[in-house]
Amino acid sequence: MLTRRTFGLAVTTACLAPALGRAAPSRVLSIGGAVTETVYALGEGHRLVARDTTSTFPAEANDLPDVGYARALAPEGVLSVNPELILAEEGAGPAETIDILRAAAIPFVIAPDGYTGAGVAEKIRVVGDALGVPDRAEALAATVTEDIAAAQALAPETGRKRVLFVLSTQGGRILASGTDTAADGMIALAGGTNAITGFTGYKQLSDEAVAAAAPDVILMMDRGGDHGAPDEVLLRMPAILPTPAARDGAVIRMNGLYLLGFGPRTGQAVRDLNAALYQQT
Amino acid sequence: MVAISDTGPRRDRRQTARAAHFWLLILLALSMVASLAIGASGVSLWAVLGKLATAQPLDLAEHVVLFDIRLPRLLTGIVVGAALAVSGALMQGLFRNPLADPGIVGVSAGAGLGAVVAIVLGPVLPIAVLGAALLPLAAFIGAWASMLILYRVATRAGRTSVATMLLAGIALAALAGAASGLLVYHADDDQLRDLTFWQLGSLTGASWAKMAIAGPVILGALLIALTLGRGLNGLALGEAAAHHIGIPVQRTKTTAILCVAAATGAAVAISGGIGFIGIVVPHLLRLATGPDHRMLLLNSALLGASLLLLADVISRVVIAPAELPIGIVTAVLGAPVFIWILLRQRGVVDL
Amino acid sequence: MNLSARNITVSLGRKTVLHDVDIDVRAGQVSAIVGPNGSGKTTLLRAICGDVAHEGQVLLNGRDVGTLKPWELAAMRAVLPQASTLAFPFQVIEIVRLGLQSSSEAESDEIAHAALSRVGLGGYGYRFYQELSGGEQQRAQLARALCQVWHPVSGGQPRWLLLDEPVSSLDIAHQLQVMEIVRDFAAAGGGVLAVMHDLNLTARFADALILVKSGRILSQGALSHVLTDENLSHAYGYQLRANQPPRDGGWFLLPQTI
């Protein structure tokens, strides 16, 4: 985590110099849902000329041209929207495209990822600096940090609930979050305990592992298709049936970008998740 | 499978095949112009040519779009398309089966494993110093290694059995698939997305650096492959008969296999998995101008290059400013054409 | 100039199919390898063609074929296999042209078409090989082989036709036609060595015989020397009597029990 953060910052400072040297860029391309959200939250949405596929909030972002998936950007597609500044989440690429964009002398700023309050604040500051509105960014970062801290304070000291984040139940197989994910970060911020700590990332779980994890609550993204298997189907899955969550019928569904974006809305999301965890029973 | 069409030509097909050299060259030239002229950005090829002709300076965007994006992409499209089509024709000639492609002998599986290793293990291994070169390098090594393993397995006392190679290829592909699966299991979300995009293929990452390495490998392999026409014609009669008419059978087989490994390995390394060119192109040409490999190989190179360039143009304009992976375009266009060809033929005998 | 094989031993797996076989064949004659099924006739021909690994030496016009390049060998002899399969939809003329070694295209085309006419497939050049009947395919393959050694004598040296049951899927008229082609080739100075199944046809066209039984040569030499009742009966394990009807002087042969 630490190394990734340092890398992000190093690139940021390297790229920022030319961006700051001239007048604040008016044509901005935003890559990454949280980055786009942050631009809008800073009141700079009017400067955006295009977005990536994952940038779906706020609604007006959907009206912008879509340059494709963040990790598979086409250089000419990016150049065709004629950006003066590119703001990207960590992991945007591929490297060949970034090289060409550098050759075209377009400032490319990478906003670091981080699944903590400080991480969100850092992301907001980097975006704000690149857009030339550091003061507003500082204010927003402070608000968000406070939001998160306040929401965290709502979590009980003891009796924390065990939360299982289920990414998908495709074909009856449960793909769940281990540690070092956005979901893991959110569960911690909202005062829960991740029921699965045996691996990092998202992996498929055996039925018995789910039962052994004994989650009190199941957390899912609220989106159509099989990801949103109805509660009664979900809770009757053999893996989930023996868990306390099934007994209590405890399923929480939240919008994916809202829940996992780690952007300006994260404070609110933490509060919502906390409320859903501890006020429903 | 040998398909016989009732409406087949009743005349000497050598003239048709030679005329095809000419028409396919024209098609390739047009495709090249299209590839240079069409793109998401507003840069106009004609405006740039005008400026070059009058010695005016280009602005940075024009320079980058034309010389750093479209031109390397054009060249990459040509060599990759030619490599895939010629490799397909070589494999079909070698295995005496119009359905053969480099995938059959484990090249794709090997390249895929190399790619998975690079994507998943790249960040944690000391080989990370190779940076962006790691993925293509690993894919190339994977393709090349799997081909050589099969070749060694299938060669006994100086004779290579293509049947053994085919069967061992299936086993090796399964093994490589399992190894890939193991790594995929350990991959994180981002790596899985990278992998999916790699498997769909794209010319997006084309660069001068990659061309400088892959270009000569592919061109060398293709030039050597073009000398195999008579040998492959002879092999169509069977290995014994080929020997009888003076074909150095073992040398032909070895050369064909090494050419395919080099050309496909390098092509897959720089463009990912692009399907259907290797099967559809030789098949179309065989229908049009006959199976004589002396002309088929060159025509395959020309048509493969042209079709890949056109597919690439489609891939970059259809959802601009984003790009569709080119493997999707070739499959969407290639598969229906292929099925239509099969349906149109009256008799299909001798599978 | 001769075709000779010395100490040919062929083992397929653990089984030895040919035991230390020596043969001598003269150009200008039709020589036939005969013998019962499984005696090693075809294996002997394949050893001579270099298709199976063998011990011993094969000399063609005095040169050891093991040391010759495929194309050098191809310039000296053509081979007609017993059965052929073809992978792609080639036209008949394209198959025939495969037999051509290097020469100018106009001359080559002339030879290819002449060879097709020679085997009675004059108008078939632009048909698809797979559309032909089995017998027509066999004759098309013969035309390909003829193309390869179109001139029976080249540079003062005989060229060779090695044929594995060349008439096996032909009707009687075409059997005779093919055997006449073969006889003419030999008469023009070329060498012919054919594995034959039909003893009557063999007796009518062959000048010399090699009689094989159980991987060994039972007898070889002129027709009258080999085609004796004793040899045949021994080879085929069945009472056979060779006869010569006085009318046209040709040999004929009937199986009969005495």
Chain B nearest CA to C127, separation (Å): 6
Chosen from A7, A29, A64, A76 to mutate, greatest number of chain B CBs within 10 A? A76
Residues paired with C100 in a beta bridge: none
Name residues 99-118 of chain A within 8 A of B (Cβ). Answer: 99-100, 103-105
Q: How many Å apart are CA A180 and CA A115, to the nearest integer? A: 8
Is the confidence at residue A4, as pLDDT, over 70? no
Q: In the 8-state DSSP scheme, what is residue C128? A: B
> What is the model's pLDDT at position B131?
65
> What is the model's pLDDT at position A122?
94
3-state secondary structure of A160: coil
- Interface membership of B290 toward C (CB under 8 Å): yes
Residues C61 and C236: beta-carbon distance below 8 Å? no
Q: In the 8-state DSSP scheme, what is residue B57? A: P
- Interface membership of C148 toward B (CB under 8 Å): yes
Q: In the predicted model, what is the mean pLDDT of chain B?
A: 86
Is the four-CA dihedral B320, B324, B326, B332 of positive or negative sign? negative
pLDDT tens column, B289-303: 999 999 999 999 999
> What is the model's pLDDT at position A20?
47
Is the confidence at residue A1, as pLDDT, over 50? no
Is the confidence at residue B103, as pLDDT, over 80? no
Residue B64 lies in a domain: yes
Radius of gyration of chain A (CA): 20
Chain A partners (3+ C-beta pairs within 8 A): B
| Total number of domains constituting chain B | 1
Q: How many Å apart are CA A167 and CA A220, to the nearest integer? A: 6
Residue B41 to residues A72, B70, B202, Cα–Cα distance (Å): 17, 11, 18
Tallying the residues shown for chain C, one arrives at 258
> What is the model's pLDDT at position A11?
43
Contact list in C for residue B11 (CB cut-off 8 A) is: 126
- Interface membership of B97 toward C (CB under 8 Å): yes
| Total number of domains constituting chain C | 1
For residues C176-199, average pLDDT: 95
- Interface membership of C42 toward B (CB under 8 Å): no
Give the count of alpha carbons within 13 A of A270, CB side only: 32
Chain C nearest CA to B287, separation (Å): 9
Contact list in B for residue A170 (CB cut-off 8 A) is: none
Cβ-defined contact of B132 to A69 (cutoff 8 Å): no
Residue B218 lies in a domain: yes
Those residues whose C-beta lies under 8 Å from the C-beta of residue B334, and which sit 6 or more positions away, are: B275, B276, B277, B279, B280
3-state secondary structure of C211: strand
3-state secondary structure of A146: helix
Task: For residue A92, give the chain B residue with the closest CA.
Answer: B190
Q: Lowest mean pLDDT of A99-103, B112-116, C253-257, name the range.
A: C253-257
Residue B33 pLDDT level (bands cut at 50, 70, 90): very high
Residue B3 lies in a domain: no
Cβ-defined contact of C128 to B8 (cutoff 8 Å): yes
Residue B351 lies in a domain: no
> What is the model's pLDDT at position C256?
55
Is the four-CA dihedral A236, A238, A242, A244 of positive or negative sign? negative
Residues paired with C148 in a beta bridge: none
- Interface membership of C89 toward B (CB under 8 Å): yes
Structure token digits, residue B274: 């692009």
Residues C40 and C217: beta-carbon distance below 8 Å? no
Name the residue ranges covered by the structural domains of chain A.
2-151, 162-278
Could you list the residue range(s) of the whole structural domain that residue B83 is in?
A: 16-346
pLDDT tens column, A162-216: 999 998 887 778 889 999 899 999 999 988 999 999 888 888 888 888 888 999 9
Q: Lowest mean pLDDT of A9-18, A215-224, B341-350, C75-84, name the range.
A: A9-18
Chains B and A touch (3+ CB pairs under 8 A): yes
Chain C nearest CA to B1, separation (Å): 8
> What is the model's pLDDT at position C212?
95
> What is the model's pLDDT at position C108?
84
Cβ-defined contact of C79 to B244 (cutoff 8 Å): yes
Residue C257 to residues B236, C72, C199, C228, Cα–Cα distance (Å): 47, 49, 17, 16
Cβ-defined contact of B350 to C90 (cutoff 8 Å): no
Task: Return the amino acid letter for A214.
Answer: A
The per-residue DSSP string of A4-19 comes to HHHHHHHHHHHHHHHH
Pick from A69, A49, A68, A70: nearest CA to A60: A49
> What is the model's pLDDT at position B348?
46
> What is the model's pLDDT at position A12?
42
From B187, B193, B320, residue closest to A77, measured CB to CB: B320
For residues B198-209, average pLDDT: 85
Is the confidence at residue B342, as pLDDT, over 80? no
From C70, C78, C126, residue closest to B248, measured CB to CB: C70
Pick from B114, B36, B46, B115: nearest CA to B78: B36
Residue C131 lies in a domain: no
Residue C61 pLDDT level (bands cut at 50, 70, 90): very high
pLDDT tens column, A232-268: 788 888 888 889 999 898 999 998 889 998 999 998 8
> What is the model's pLDDT at position B188?
78
Task: Return the amino acid letter for A148.
Answer: I
Residue C96 lies in a domain: no
Q: In the predicted model, what is the mean pLDDT of chain C?
A: 90
Residue B9 lies in a domain: no
Q: How many Å apart are CA C231 and CA A246, to the nearest integer? A: 93
Cβ-defined contact of C70 to B10 (cutoff 8 Å): no
The arrangement of secondary structure in A162-278, i.e. its CATH architecture, is 3-Layer(aba) Sandwich (3.40)
Q: How many Å apart are CA A277 and CA A162, to the nearest integer? A: 10
Residues B100 and B256: beta-carbon distance below 8 Å? no
Burial of C94 per CB tally in 10 Å (0-12, 13-18, 19+): buried
Q: In the 8-state DSSP scheme, what is residue B200? A: H
Q: How many Å apart are CA A105 and CA A115, to the nearest integer? A: 31
Q: SS3 for C183-207, per residue?
A: HHHHHCCCEEEEECCCHHHHHHHCC
Contact list in A for residue B326 (CB cut-off 8 A) is: none
Q: Strands (DSSP E) along chain C, which ranges? A: 2-12, 15-26, 30-34, 55-60, 63-64, 77-80, 153-154, 157-158, 160-164, 191-195, 208-213, 216-222, 240-243, 252-255
Q: SS3 for chain B, per residue?
A: CEEECCCCCCCCHHHHHHHHHHHHHHHHHHHHHHHHHCCCCCCCHHHHHHHHHCCCCCCHHHHHHHHHHHHHHHHHHHHHHHHHHHHHHHHHHHHCCCCCCHHHHCHHHHHHHHHHHHHHHHHHCHHHHHHHHHHHHHHHHHHHHHHHHHHHHHEECCEECHHHHHHHHHHHHHHHHHHHHHHHHHCCHHHHHHHHHHHHCCCCCCCHHHHHHHHHHHHHHHHHHHHHHHHHHHHCCCHHHHHHCCCCHHHHHHHHHHHHHHHHHHHHHHHCCCCCHHHHHHHHHHHHHCCCHHHHHHHHHHHHHHHHHHHHHHHHHCCCCCCCCHHHHHHHHHHHHHHHHHHHCCEEECC
pTM: 0.86
- ipTM over 0.85 threshold: yes
CATH node for A2-151? 3.40.50.1980
For residues A139-167, average pLDDT: 87
Structure token digits, residue B193: 């997305």
For residues B94-111, average pLDDT: 81
Cβ-defined contact of A103 to B64 (cutoff 8 Å): yes
Chains B and C touch (3+ CB pairs under 8 A): yes
Q: How many CB atoms lie within 10 A of CB A152?
A: 17
Beta strand pairing status for C208-213 and C216-222? antiparallel
Q: How many Å apart are CA B38 and CA B24, to the nearest integer? A: 20
Residue C251 pLDDT level (bands cut at 50, 70, 90): low
- Interface membership of A13 toward B (CB under 8 Å): no
Chain A nearest CA to B323, separation (Å): 6
Chain B partners (3+ C-beta pairs within 8 A): A, C
Cβ-defined contact of B64 to A50 (cutoff 8 Å): no
Is the confidence at residue C164, as pLDDT, over 90? yes
Residues C204 and C236: beta-carbon distance below 8 Å? no
Burial of A122 per CB tally in 10 Å (0-12, 13-18, 19+): buried
pLDDT tens column, A16-44: 444 444 467 889 999 999 999 999 999 99
Chosen from C43, C76, C88, C161 to mutate, greatest number of chain B CBs within 10 A? C88
Task: Return the amino acid letter for C16.
Answer: T
- Interface membership of A3 toward B (CB under 8 Å): no
> What is the model's pLDDT at position C191?
95
Query: Who wins on pLDDT, B351 or B27?
Result: B27
Is the confidence at residue C252, as pLDDT, over 80? no
> What is the model's pLDDT at position A239?
86
From B12, B243, B245, residue closest to C98, measured CB to CB: B245
Q: How many CB atoms lie within 10 A of CB C51?
A: 19
Contact list in C for residue B286 (CB cut-off 8 A) is: 88-89
pLDDT tens column, A84-130: 999 999 888 888 898 889 888 999 999 998 888 899 999 999 999 99
> What is the model's pLDDT at position C258?
44
Residue C236 lies in a domain: yes
Task: For residue A73, give the chain B residue with the closest CA.
Answer: B322
**Which uninterrupted H or E stretch holds A235?**
helix A231-235
Residues B135 and B197: beta-carbon distance below 8 Å? no
Residue B152 pLDDT level (bands cut at 50, 70, 90): confident
Q: Residue C189 sits in a domain of what CATH number? A: 3.40.50.300
Contact list in A for residue B316 (CB cut-off 8 A) is: 74, 76-77
For residues B117-128, average pLDDT: 74
Q: How many Å apart are CA B108 and CA B147, to the nearest integer? A: 10
Is the confidence at residue C28, as pLDDT, over 90? yes
> What is the model's pLDDT at position A229?
65
Residue B121 pLDDT level (bands cut at 50, 70, 90): confident
Contact list in A for residue B68 (CB cut-off 8 A) is: 75, 100, 103-104
Cβ-defined contact of C130 to B4 (cutoff 8 Å): yes
Residue B4 lies in a domain: no
Residue A67 pLDDT level (bands cut at 50, 70, 90): very high
Is the confidence at residue C253, as pLDDT, over 70? no
Contact list in B for residue A105 (CB cut-off 8 A) is: 60
Residue B103 lies in a domain: yes
From A72, A81, A100, residue closest to B321, measured CB to CB: A81
Find the Cα–Cα–Cα–Cα dihedral A262, A268, A274, A276, rounded to 10°. Answer: -110
Is the confidence at residue C134, as pLDDT, over 60? yes
Structure token digits, residue B242: 């080929």
Contact list in B for residue C144 (CB cut-off 8 A) is: 245
Is the confidence at residue B351, as pLDDT, over 50? no
Residue C91 pLDDT level (bands cut at 50, 70, 90): very high
**Exposure string over B166-185, b if 16+ CB within 10 A, otherwise e:** bebbeebbebbeeebeebee
Is the four-CA dihedral A125, A128, A129, A134 of positive or negative sign? negative
Pick from B7, B71, B35, B93: nearest CA to B207: B71
Is the confidence at residue B7, as pLDDT, over 50? no
Residue B11 lies in a domain: no
- Interface membership of B15 toward C (CB under 8 Å): no
- Highest mean pLDDT among B143-157, B185-199, C51-65 belongs to C51-65
pLDDT tens column, C148-162: 999 999 889 999 999
Structure token digits, residue A51: 């977005």
Task: For residue B66, give the chain A residue with the closest CA.
Answer: A76
Residue C144 lies in a domain: no
Residues of B engaging A, defined by a Cβ cutoff of 8 Å: 39-42, 60-61, 64-65, 68-70, 131-132, 185, 187-190, 193-194, 197, 202, 204-207, 210, 316, 319-323, 325
Residues A159 and A244: beta-carbon distance below 8 Å? no
Structure token digits, residue A116: 């903590």
Could you list the residue range(s) of the whole structural domain that residue C221 is in?
A: 2-83+151-255
From B65, B197, B319, residue closest to A76, measured CB to CB: B65
